[in-house]
Amino acid sequence: MVQKSGTVEGTAGMNDTNSAVRLSDTQYFIMQLAVFGATSYFLYPYLILHTDGGSYWMPIVTGLLAGILGARLFSGLMAQYPGLDAFAAVKRVLGWPGLLLFAIPYGWYIWRAMTMIARAHAEIVSMTILHTTPLWILHCTVPIAMLLAAGGVASIVRAAAVFVTVGIPVTIGITLLGFSDLDLALHEPWRPTDLSYLGSQSFFKSSFVWVGFLYLCSCGQYARIPGRLWRPYAAAAFCFLPVIAAAIYFPVLTFGVGFAKALTFPFLSKMDSVSHYWLVVENLTAVFLSAVILLVILTLSLMMHSLVAALRALMPFLSARFAYAAVGASTYISAQLIPSWGWIEKGIWADTPVRIYLVLFPPVVWLWRRLASGRRQSA
């Protein structure tokens, strides 16, 4: 349940109601689950299967631990300024130059990520279920997410409670059906590995799954204890880890390493291979994607809310309604203009330096604050 208390300072609040919202760790946990559910299936299995080193569990665990570390550092920044979002906190420490160095790359990255997530899932639905439906209809996830985000954090949290309650059990249940026809003789994924995956381009591309805490930059101000924001992220990551591992290992233990690597959507192909006479639903892939789309809408709304917060931090005079309309329209049009699936893969790699920069920015701000306070005390 969304609780309310006194008014909070920050740039993310779009109206008086949202400025009084207080979110529990459970609500942050639910939102992080939605982010993992929306981003873990469409490209992550393909990327991990193409990392160097042989086995796949080490890139997965390394990404998880790096994500928890990044969330912990991000929480450290938020703990210094309770009641402020990430943009206001950075501005408090570094002023306008620091805000520009953070908000502009953040806005660019989030906008591109929204565009690619929307287009990727539209492509998946088009290729697997709705073959004749035009993409301009399948991109309706964007305006739906825009309307949800425009309602503020309270609306997003309420929708998250419903979407996650429906989407996560369905995706986990269908994933569990994949145990039925595994061939454990295809044991290559369990072989010893080395650290060569750390130099693999695919490994760095796959980091987009583990930066979901960045999508909550505008929501940190609503935390009761901002310094504990990393805990819901870590809990969601560990809870979703078996599902992520299954999305990678199930195709390999069904088709073999060589054939699984040749598939663009290895996990969806695995779902297509599941067949039981007692199943009431004939097309498991359609049910699975329908559940994932709910999580995609929720994730896009979180990202839009954060992007609008970044824009309004840079331009306080900007109307919230206009900002949401502009972000929604630009995301929809950009997703429609993406020429191919290959462009999405290249785009994720091109965004990797910005992604790493944004993860490293909070600890730099925290360190700068510590050094500045140390100088003042010594003076």
pLDDT at site 86: 87
Bigger pLDDT: 37 or 191? Answer: 37
In the predicted model, is pLDDT for residue 330 greater than 60? yes
In the predicted model, is pLDDT for residue 323 greater than 50? yes
pLDDT at site 42: 81
Both structure tokens of 220? 């940190």
- In tens, the pLDDT along 54-79 reads 678 888 999 999 999 989 888 888 88
32-36, 364-368, 374-378: least confidently modelled range: 374-378
- In tens, the pLDDT along 30-59 reads 999 999 989 888 889 888 888 876 678 888
Map residue 223 onto helix, strand or coil.
strand
DSSP category for residue 210: G
Bigger pLDDT: 309 or 376? Answer: 309
Whether residue 189 contacts residue 257, with contact meaning beta carbons closer than 8 Å, is answered with yes
Bigger pLDDT: 127 or 31? Answer: 31
Map residue 84 onto helix, strand or coil.
coil
60-64, 96-100, 237-241, 257-261: least confidently modelled range: 257-261
- Which residue segments constitute the domains of the chain, with CATH numbers given? 3-360 (1.20.1740.10)
Alpha carbon of 150 to those of 13, 21, 124, 323, 350: distances in Å?
11, 15, 27, 9, 29
pLDDT at site 375: 59
pLDDT at site 314: 92
pLDDT at site 91: 87
- In tens, the pLDDT along 261-283 reads 888 888 888 887 777 666 666 67
In the predicted model, is pLDDT for residue 194 greater than 60? yes
In the predicted model, is pLDDT for residue 171 greater than 70? yes
pLDDT at site 239: 92
DSSP category for residue 4: E
What is the overall mean pLDDT for the chain? 84
| Total Cβ atoms within 10 A of residue 337 | 10
Nearest-CA neighbor of 217 among 6, 75, 112, 353? 75
pLDDT-derived band at 1, boundaries 50, 70, 90: very low
Bigger pLDDT: 146 or 128? Answer: 146
For the chain, how big is the Rg over CA atoms in Å?
21
34-38, 108-112, 144-148, 187-191: least confidently modelled range: 187-191
pLDDT-derived band at 13, boundaries 50, 70, 90: very low
Mean pLDDT within 143-155: 91
In the predicted model, is pLDDT for residue 15 greater than 70? no
26-40, 202-216, 253-267: least confidently modelled range: 253-267
Alpha-carbon distance of 46 to 56, in angstroms, equals 11
Alpha-carbon distance of 53 to 189, in angstroms, equals 10
174: Cα separation from own chain's centroid: 21
pLDDT at site 9: 38
pLDDT at site 68: 93
Alpha-carbon distance of 178 to 254, in angstroms, equals 9
pLDDT-derived band at 188, boundaries 50, 70, 90: low
